[in-house]
């Protein structure tokens, strides 16, 4: 049986991410509820202000360069964390970068969009909230750039491709090492889930490792059935590329914390963001990690975990949203 590292060995990667990311026990929540709650700080991966997307770009950019591409296209919302990190990787790799961003172009850019402008790349705004419309515009842009002689590497929302998902297959290997270092075995891993790449990678890593806990993806945008299908499809495709397989039972999604929609704050999300900041000194965002932390806190209050269980919360980053 191959280890995760052996499955990943054939795939080139960068080491821009500051890995392994630290894991620490959240004493405040652990002592309050009798559950050992740990936090894996993927907000501290460093490059381009960090977050979970650097793990994906560590695999995506080498793939682009190996194909001889000189131009990157990344797709996301105006405040996309993925687009900000993709732009950082692209300019560092001496590539021309184009971002296709959903939403009107603001008069005064803030947050991630301000950083995109600072990087000196080209932004193309699409006045729509429909991901399919963004993708359509990105495809048209790719055609135009290709006709001009550019060799384009186009990445979808979140960088959620089989190659990008390898970043979180690798992260799961890291989590297994975290267990050994801490002397615990995690019963559950909980994190924000949106474009499927992070969760799909974790699911594939779990399948390879044989770990028997539960990975819980907290949807911040899509209904449970739709996101489960996305995660399973991407997990299967990713697993096939590295000679592994996954089972549908490994894909667990909870859509109870979306509220009125993507990027719309909820009461639980506000409470979680404030609690983590004021009690723990950890900053979350209102789009992704705040809703995942709201789910974590609600699970603790409702006794969804057995007493004494070990639960890992992955902080996937996104703090720049606080400056929007």
Neighbours of 244 (CB within 10 A): 18
CB 42 within 8 A of CB 51: yes
Neighbours of 149 (CB within 10 A): 8
Tokens of 102: 């959903």
Q: How many helices (H) and strands (E) does the chain have?
A: 11, 10
Half-sphere CA count of 5, side-chain side, radius 13 A: 5
- Exactly one of 80, 173, 193, 195 is catalytic; name it: 80
**DSSP letter, residue 280:** I
Residue 194, classed as helix, strand or coil, is coil
Q: Say how far apart CA 80 and CA 75 lie, in whole Å.
A: 8
Cβ burial 66-93 (10 Å sphere, 16+ → b, else e): eeebbbbbbbbbbbbbbbbbbbbbbbeb
Through-space distance between the first and last CA atoms of the chain, rounded to whole angstroms: 47
Residue 80 designated active-site: yes
Provide DSSP, 211-273.
--SEEEEEESSS-HHHHHHHHHHHHHHHHHHTT----GGG-EEE-TT-TTSTT---HHHHHHH
Q: Catalytic amino acids?
A: 80
């Amino acid at each position: 049986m191959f280890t995760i590292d052996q499955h990943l060995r054939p795939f080139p990667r960068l080491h821009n991410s500051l890995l392994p990311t630290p894991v620490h026990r959240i004493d405040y929540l652990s002592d309050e509820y009798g559950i050992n709650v740990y936090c894996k700080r993927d907000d501290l991966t460093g490059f381009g202000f960090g977050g979970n997307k650097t793990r994906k770009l560590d695999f995506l950019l080498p793939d682009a360069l190996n194909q001889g591409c000189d131009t990157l296209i990344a797709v996301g919302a105006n405040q996309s964390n993925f687009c900000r990190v993709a732009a950082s990787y692209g300019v560092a790799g001496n590539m021309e970068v184009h971002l296709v961003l959903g939403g009107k172009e603001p008069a005064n850019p803030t947050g991630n969009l301000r950083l995109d402008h600072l990087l000196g790349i080209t932004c193309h705004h699409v006045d729509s909230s429909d991901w399919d419309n963004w993708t359509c515009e990105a495809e048209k842009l790719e055609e135009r750039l290709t006709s001009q002689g550019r060799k384009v590497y186009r990445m979808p929302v979140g960088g959620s491709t089989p190659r990008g998902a390898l970043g979180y297959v690798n992260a799961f290997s890291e989590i297994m090492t975290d267990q050994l270092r801490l002397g615990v075995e995690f019963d559950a891993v909980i994190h924000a889930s949106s474009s499927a790449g992070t969760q799909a990678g974790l699911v594939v890593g779990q399948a390879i490792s044989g770990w028997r806990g539960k990975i819980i993806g907290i949807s911040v945008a899509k209904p449970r059935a739709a996101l489960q299908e996305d995660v399973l499809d991407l997990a299967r495709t990713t697993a096939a590329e590295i000679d592994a397989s996954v089972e549908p039972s490994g894909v667990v999604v909870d859509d109870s914390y979306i509220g009125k929609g993507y990027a719309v704050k909820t009461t639980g999300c506000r409470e979680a963001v404030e609690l983590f900041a004021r009690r723990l000194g950890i900053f979350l965002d209102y789009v992704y990690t705040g809703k995942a932390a709201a789910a974590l806190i609600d699970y603790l209050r409702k006794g969804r975990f057995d007493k004494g269980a070990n639960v890992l919360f992955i902080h996937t980053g996104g703090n720049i949203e606080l400056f929007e």
